[in-house]
Amino acid sequence: MLGIVPAAGRGSRIQPLGFSKELLPVGSRMDGQTERPCAVSEYLVRRMVRNGVDRICFIIGSGKSDILEYYAAGYDSAAAIFVAQPSPVGLCGAIF
């Protein structure tokens, strides 16, 4: 099953951040014995994987290479796919 994460927006209402809003740390997770920050998008991705998604498509815009780096290896058992949206034209433009 394929999950879609639209992440091409500029996040202009929460700027100035030095990173994409999808990577905003909210809470934490355990990585072995180490507690690490958890990106807000991880909560969505984790639920997708838990419910059977095996491929996650991130729709990203220019300046969102940090999302690509963060999820490049996939997440848990799901592979990551990245699609570039040249200009953020809304959710319908991202999906269709």
Q: Is 74 exposed, middle or buried (0-12, 13-18, 19+ CB in 10 A)?
A: middle
Q: What's the pLDDT score for residue 63?
A: 84
Q: Residue 86: which pLDDT band, with cuts at 50, 70 and 90?
A: confident
* pLDDT above 90 (res 57): yes
- pLDDT tens per residue, range 11-30: 667 677 778 889 999 999 88
Its pTM stands at: 0.84
CA distances to 23, 41, 55, 70, 92 from 66, in Å: 8, 13, 19, 6, 23
